[in-house]
Structure 1
Amino acid sequence: MKDHTMLLQIDGVTKIFPGVRALDNVTFSVLAGEVHGLVGENGAGKSTLMAVASGALVPEMGRVVIDGVETRGDTDEARRLGLAIVRQEPALMPDLSVAENLYLGVPAGQRPSLMNVGIWAQGLLERWSKDVAIDASERVVSLNPEQRFIVEIVKALAAEPKVLVLDEPTEHLLAEDVERLFERIRQVTASGCAVVYISHRIREVQKIADRLTVLRDGQGQGTYDAAGLSEQQIVELIVGGALDRDFPAKAGNDHAGVILDVQALRGAGFSDIMIQLRQGEIVGLAGIDGNGQREFMRALAGQTRSRGNVTVGGVVARLHHSQAAAASGIRYIPGDRHREGIFGDLSVRENFSIRSLQFDSLNGWVRQRSEAKRARDAVARFAVKTPSIDTPVRSLSGGNQQKLVLASVLASRPKVLLVDEPTQGVDIGARMEIYKVLREAAAAGTAVLVVSSDAHEVAGLCDRVLIFSRGQVVKELNDGDVSENNITAAVLTVTTERERGAARIAGFWKWAAGDWAPLVMLAVAVCALGLYAAHVNDAYFSARNLSGMLALVATLAIVAYGQQVLMLVGGIDLSVGPLMGLVVVIQSFFLNDGAPSSHQIAGWAIVLVVAFAVGLVNWVLVGPFRLHPMVATLATYMALQAVSLLLRPVPGGLIADSVTETISAQIGAVPVVAIAAVAIALVLEYALFKTRSGLTFRGVGSRAEAARMAGVRPQLTSLAAYLGCSLLAAVAAVPMMAQVGSGDPSAGISYTLGSIAAVVIGGASLFGGRGSFVGALLGALLIIQVNVVNSFLDIGDSWQSYLLGGMILASVALYSRSREMVVAK
């Protein structure tokens, strides 16, 4: 029941970005137990206002009050006060599992033990739907857009919020899940929760909202009783006047020539598709999602493999990859704009021209005047709202991004245009503009194929409609039969169930993309290589050889652990080798024969300070100074090497025998340092997968912004990673002292590339978010084994490089391919 308690109050908020006043003195409030609709065109300021409410943005003026407490612009504080938000682009960490994302997404007091997180998360998913087709142990990267939105909604509901913000929550949901969402909204408001519902779907807002507030150009246009306004009145408030809401007139060119001819095309999710598209017509593909229409469209675009006969303008089309399809005249606009449609870090100009650079280039060189002119013309023609053509495209609203993608694709002058969800996340004014552009493209001779989950949109836009069911076209609607009612009836009469279940991914690729695959394959490689070497030379398994090899493995493994810590958060450290050499050089002045204990303790203290300082400097260069990790740590590499050479221009300063003997102690044939290296790997592996700290590191590396929204502090996590990497490199220098025996400034150089290689071979991602300390240990073992086997097999030194390079390439290729196979499209 709604009461008069104000759970969210936004007073006089102003937010300014470079070149645009996104919010101008906006006031907004939500009562306990009510659903408050927030509507407006793309760019009106809706998402910005909620970003201010959630603490993700700090306004220049105004205040935000949550449950009676004024906030200070902090996401953690907003979460603690009870605000949860479902964003247009789910704030999930792709390399973490569904369960781990849900764990980080709820307040600390509501989190279960990480030992039970899988069962807990699956229970939350089943609260959404008993037959939910989402496995809590699956990585988010393998989920399709609909499943990611369900996880995001479940995460927000699991936090038991006092204020729930839903920003375009139904754009990727099927009708059955929209009804589930509405039921959950009714449940939470009945318990006193306040809900802010943002949507471009006016009918949804009218159905679920008690009151609604209209924003236009960053300014409030009033708050109204939702039941007291008609759909047309809401639209006029949004756009600031009357709007022609009729679809553009259809072509009616039945006698036009065939442009696209598809015969017996089959692929994953569809079979034996036979269709023809005539010049200038728009054909819609309808059906319950998951019945093959999107898979068919992606196959035509060259995104997935298919078999059959396809011709464009009478010429056989090659569809083995997207470039080949484009060369055949087929262009594709994806439904998942954020992942596949835009290049977020590039400018509006670059995003427009990138698909049609042939019109701006001469002998391989881009003519910037031509590129800029075409981009400005497109921005004007498609009414893209942007401060300039050099503005980063990620700063544009969703509707303007969609219009720019459409402009970019049409600029390539396609013969066949494939459009998946043309108006997803787009306001009603922009929708009408997009419909007009598509109809104009068709009138100019392009054949257009559209997939949309909105039957009203399909009926109003398309000349013909093909109904898909279980991967086949089961019905065709023509001319006067193309209506919303007929489309809906046709879809429901051919099938009332959506095909569910796991994606069609080969078992091997799913296994190869998991955490265990690198470990198993490395273990097999180590055993196979060792057995072969022993078969060729019996001395390979001698106690002397094994103890010497394990000591080298321990040194490389420990520094590789440091590299792995940093790679988890998306970093890399090229300075670990020179740091190890500097540690040995420093200790060559302190750990000499006859040196007093206080002198030796001072040496260890200096080493600790140096390692800490190196990690701190690297973090400052990468974090606050924003240098690329390779550039920053390469500079540190050279500085550390220079200091080592100043202290010891030539090797000197013998390490005391008592020290080296202690470091080289063995239990049987096994060095103590090797046992220590294994123990460290197991402890770190446990921490990585079974503690919140490990989850935090993986989350930051997977997607730092999503981790920040979940309450993690990426900068502090990055600092801990750089310090940890340097400290572990210093620890790795200890066994190296026993191997070198004196202050050699070049002793650690080879460990820089060796540590990176061990981590990569062990299954880590160079982009962060994934890795294994046991994998790094096995990677170090394989690298040292290759080096040692070289002498036992009496093969040239070049083979050492061949084998190591081949292993790195194979590891990266296998990881990349397996990830490509499991990523949901």
Structure 2
Amino acid sequence: MAENDDVILHLTGVRKTFGPIVALKNMNLTVRAGRVHTILGENGAGKSTLMKILAGVQLPTEGEIRLGGEDYYPRTPQEAAARGLAIVFQELSLCNNLSVAANILATREPSRMGFISERKLLARARALIEELGLPVDVNARVADLSIAQRQLVEIAKGLSHDGRVVIFDEPTSSLSDSEAEILFDIIGRLKAQGKAIIYISHRMEEIMRLSDDITVVRDGEYVTTVKKEETTIEELIALMVGRRMEEIYPPRLGPAPDPAMPPVLKVEGLTRPGAFRDASFELRPGEILGFFGLIGAGRSEVMGALFGMLAAEGRVEIDGKPVTIRSAAEAIAHGIGFVTENRKEQGLVLLHSLRQNISMAALPRYSAKGFLRARAERETAHAEVDRLAIRTGSIETVTGTLSGGNQQKVVLAKWLATKPRILILDEPTRGVDVGAKFEIYRIIRQLAAEGTAILLVSSELPEVLGLSDRVVIMSEGRMREAAARDTLTPERVMTFATGQF
């Protein structure tokens, strides 16, 4: 077989501009059958723009794209799918009010005489779910699913198209380790079938596990392509961000909180039937308390109850005084901030500017006698943009136009602007590249050093163990263990998380 016989997708000199803004400068890519080709780059490097071009959402300004040896310039997602390209997007594209089955087969519902056959719809969706091995009920309404379960539905929706090229854009960003293993098995089967896989992820360990070839992009431009076995994580990070990182998790700034110190937050017997029960823990100023568990463990639901988003029974004390929090406004008044895992629906107003999003949770700080103090609002927005290294041309930029990672940093900036005493971080680095992760970790460490009490929920076990002072491990809605970080190993954590204790 000639060297190029297995090339399915080939890009040369692809460029994309939006007026004076250059999103892609010079993109080159060669993707081969039966191989996993990872595209690696920081947020804003141009990966999302490239995926939209391949998916038929946008056309390139310049350059050549060939699929199966023929010119490939799809003008719609339907045309891209018809040509053999399937894509699983990072940002969920589901209709929350419809069932899992209806979402998976949207626009391709089996019908007769203009009427959709519900029986055939459910049967086809169920067959696909069973083939993929996904733990999702096809009858369930998407709005009732967790973010991780919705991500599994997004994966099924993408794979319902039989593509020669299958693109996975941050598919594990909201999956726990066990669900990620299901995905990795699926990718292995697709690879064995001769599919060409394009994989986008910021998780370096899974990149080194899955990839055959890795293309690094920076600032919208192709840097290099390397074989996985010929590189290291350290070399890839240096290529991606233009610098080396000696440590991903920065060290604690100062001593850990004294266990004898009075807690700023005390929770006793917090219960929400069907979600979690008897959650009890304490949190001290300057402490980072990690929460780890698999999908359905109840971690995010506990945080939602503490923030007044979900009704729950139990006792909550702040500074030793009982409090009842029935709304987000009451939580904010008590000094609690909440970076939610679902930034699109709960964290941001995507049509508003960065300035408006950053200030919206702390508007009383920028008002006097009913009038907005615009200068103070702008100063805070500029300070938080600089503090978190948010890539934007202006604080007036529409937030929805930013990359996913930069949107996540805007959510964090919004809550930092409230100067919270207790900060809940639910998957704070979901969809964030390794360079941006380091900046967020640095901010978390700085906040803890300044006395902010932090509740950290993460599906990334290295993240929980790398940042937390203590770790709460949950399984099936119950706290199974709470221990100091230095007494835990990954194996011990997973033993409790999987209910094998």
State whether TM-score is above 0.5: yes
Q: State the shift of 1:479 in Å.
A: 5.0
SS of the residue 1:356 aligns to: helix
Q: Please name the residue that 2:374 is paired with.
A: 368
Matched letter for residue 169 of structure 2: D
SS of the residue 1:184 aligns to: helix
Q: Please name the residue that 1:264 is paired with.
A: 269
Using the alignment, how far apart are the partners of 1:64 and 1:91 within structure 2?
26
Q: State the shift of 1:23 in Å.
A: 0.7
Q: Deviations over 1:774-813 (max 9, x none)?
A: xxxxxxxxxxxxxxxxxxxxxxxxxxxxxxxxxxxxxxxx
Preserved CA contact (<8 Å) 2:468 2:485: no
SS of the residue 2:44 aligns to: coil
Q: Give the structure-2-normalised TM-score.
A: 0.93
Matched letter for residue 447 of structure 1: A
Residue 143 (1) aligns with residue 149 (2): no
Residue 342 (1) aligns with residue 348 (2): yes
SS of the residue 1:355 aligns to: helix
Q: State the shift of 1:431 in Å.
A: 0.7
Q: State the shift of 1:85 in Å.
A: 0.6
Residue 434 (1) aligns with residue 451 (2): no
Q: Deviations over 1:172-213 (max 9, x none)?
A: 223233222222222222222111011001111111111110
SS of the residue 1:272 aligns to: strand
Alignment of 1:238-317 (within 5 A): 238-250=240-252, 251-254=255-258, 255-268=260-273, 269-317=275-323
Unaligned residue ranges in structure 1 (runs of 5+): 497-825
SS of the residue 1:389 aligns to: coil
Using the alignment, how far apart are the partners of 1:308 and 1:426 within structure 2?
35
Distance 1:347 1:415, change over 3 A: same
SS of the residue 1:212 aligns to: strand
Preserved CA contact (<8 Å) 1:463 1:482: no
SS of the residue 1:430 aligns to: helix
SS of the residue 2:59 aligns to: coil
SS of the residue 2:105 aligns to: helix
Q: Please name the residue that 2:79 is paired with.
A: 77
Q: Please name the residue that 1:796 is paired with.
A: none
Unaligned residue ranges in structure 2 (runs of 5+): none
Q: Deviations over 1:622-641 (max 9, x none)?
A: xxxxxxxxxxxxxxxxxxxx
Matched letter for residue 68 of structure 2: D
Q: State the shift of 1:18 in Å.
A: 5.1
Alignment of 1:267-666 (within 5 A): 267-268=272-273, 269-492=275-498, 494-495=499-500
Residue of 121, 132, 135 corresponding to 2:125: 121
Using the alignment, how far apart are the partners of 2:37 and 2:384 within structure 1?
37
Using the alignment, how far apart are the partners of 2:180 and 2:135 within structure 1?
16
Residue 28 (1) aligns with residue 29 (2): yes
Using the alignment, how far apart are the partners of 1:297 and 1:355 within structure 2?
18
The structure showing larger relative contact order (alpha-carbon pairs under 8 Å, at least 6 residues apart) is 2
Q: Please name the residue that 2:226 is paired with.
A: 224
Using the alignment, how far apart are the partners of 1:491 and 1:135 within structure 2?
22
Larger Rg: 1
SS of the residue 2:361 aligns to: coil
Identity of aligned residues (%): 37
Distance 1:465 1:354, change over 3 A: same
Using the alignment, how far apart are the partners of 2:92 and 2:108 within structure 1?
15
Distance 1:41 1:106, change over 3 A: farther
Q: Please name the residue that 1:666 is paired with.
A: none
Q: Please name the residue that 1:50 is paired with.
A: 51
Distance 1:95 1:476, change over 3 A: closer
Matched letter for residue 171 of structure 1: S
Q: Deviations over 1:415-454 (max 9, x none)?
A: 1111101111110111111111111111111110011111
Preserved CA contact (<8 Å) 2:471 2:485: no
SS of the residue 1:222 aligns to: strand
Residue of 84, 94, 97 corresponding to 1:95: 97
Distance 1:108 1:18, change over 3 A: farther
Q: Deviations over 1:455-507 (max 9, x none)?
A: 11011101111122332322222152144444334434x448xxxxxxxxxxx
Distance 1:439 1:128, change over 3 A: same
Q: State the shift of 1:133 in Å.
A: 4.3
Preserved CA contact (<8 Å) 1:19 1:387: no
Higher helix fraction (1 or 2): 1
Preserved CA contact (<8 Å) 2:325 2:331: yes
Matched letter for residue 403 of structure 1: K
Preserved CA contact (<8 Å) 2:109 2:116: no
Matched letter for residue 364 of structure 1: G
Higher strand fraction (1 or 2): 2
SS of the residue 1:309 aligns to: strand
Matched letter for residue 70 of structure 1: D
Preserved CA contact (<8 Å) 2:176 2:460: no
Using the alignment, how far apart are the partners of 1:113 and 1:133 within structure 2?
29
Using the alignment, how far apart are the partners of 1:267 and 1:447 within structure 2?
24
Q: State the shift of 1:311 in Å.
A: 1.4
Preserved CA contact (<8 Å) 1:341 1:405: yes
Preserved CA contact (<8 Å) 2:264 2:285: yes
Q: Deviations over 1:230-249 (max 9, x none)?
A: 11111111111211324222
Q: State the shift of 1:61 in Å.
A: 1.0
Matched letter for residue 452 of structure 1: S
Matched letter for residue 168 of structure 2: L
Using the alignment, how far apart are the partners of 2:97 and 2:266 within structure 1?
40
Q: State the shift of 1:135 in Å.
A: 3.0
Using the alignment, how far apart are the partners of 1:466 and 1:103 within structure 2?
39
Preserved CA contact (<8 Å) 1:331 1:414: yes
Matched letter for residue 483 of structure 2: L
Alignment of 1:687-702 (within 5 A): none
Q: Deviations over 1:106-144 (max 9, x none)?
A: 6999xx994222211111111122xx5433233333332
Preserved CA contact (<8 Å) 1:105 1:155: no
Q: Deviations over 1:142-170 (max 9, x none)?
A: 33222222222122222111010000011
Matched letter for residue 303 of structure 2: M
Using the alignment, how far apart are the partners of 1:107 and 1:61 within structure 2?
36
Preserved CA contact (<8 Å) 1:292 1:469: yes
Using the alignment, how far apart are the partners of 2:428 and 2:407 within structure 1?
12
Q: State the shift of 1:81 in Å.
A: 0.7
Q: State the shift of 1:40 in Å.
A: 0.8
Preserved CA contact (<8 Å) 2:293 2:299: yes
Preserved CA contact (<8 Å) 1:38 1:212: yes
